[in-house]
Structures are given as C-alpha cells and as structure tokens.
Amino acid sequence: MNITLQLSDTAYQRLVSTGSRIQGTIGLINPTEGNFSEHRKGQAKPGTRSIKLRHGRASVGDTQVRLTLRIGLDEVDVIPSQVIENESKEASAFIEGMYDNVFGY
C-alpha cells in the first residue's frame, strides 16, 4: 500500500538534514492520502525540577507533580511491586524536599 503524506516544512527539513526518525500520527484524508502531525516533545517548563530514578523520573512543577515508572517484565531479579514501592518512596522524599525548600513546611 502506498500513501501520499503531507508534512510540515520544519519536519521535512529535520528529516532530510538529520536522517533520524520523526514520531507522529497520520490522519488519513482518503485511503491513499494523509496528513502527518508530529508529536510534541515533552520539554520541561521553567521552574520544573526533576530527579532521574532507576526505572523512571519524578518531577515537581508549579502546577503538578509527576511520577513515571517503566519496568520491563523481562528484567531479571526485578519484582515490579518492589520497584514501585521503593522508587515511589524515593520520589516522595524528593518532592517533600522540594516543598520544604519552596514553602518552608
């Protein structure tokens, strides 16, 4: 199957200059034509602090707190429930420290 795609000039220039992949979605207009929409890269807002964990990341911003974990089920000697418990405690201590510094709790 061949599909004719329409993509933005910036996406095309980056694709040609770097040769790397561009992630996005294709919205089909009809079975053979579509528009490509590039996924936005998640960039931290100013004032956001984060900590890298063994299996993810915890971040604190002005409006939200985020904890992301990715545990491969094929990792040897890793029990997912223990990773969730241990790394959430580590993230909690980091977040608590951030609030202590900012709000003086």
Percent share of the chain, pLDDT over 90: 36
With a cut of 60, say whether residue 103 has pLDDT above it. Answer: no
With a cut of 60, say whether residue 87 has pLDDT above it. Answer: yes
Work out the pLDDT band at 90, boundaries 50, 70, 90.
very high
Average pLDDT, the chain: 86
Read off φ and ψ for residue 20, nearest 5 degrees.
-90, 170
Write out pLDDT tens, residues 20-34.
888 889 999 998 999
pLDDT recorded at residue 97: 83
| CA torsion, ordered 55, 67, 59, 88, to nearest 10 deg | -70
Secondary structure class of 70 (helix, strand, coil)? coil
Question: Distance between CA atoms of 80 and 25, rounded to whole angstroms?
Answer: 31
pLDDT recorded at residue 85: 94
Question: Distance between CA atoms of 61 and 44, rounded to whole angstroms?
Answer: 9
Write out pLDDT tens, residues 32-44.
999 998 887 666 6
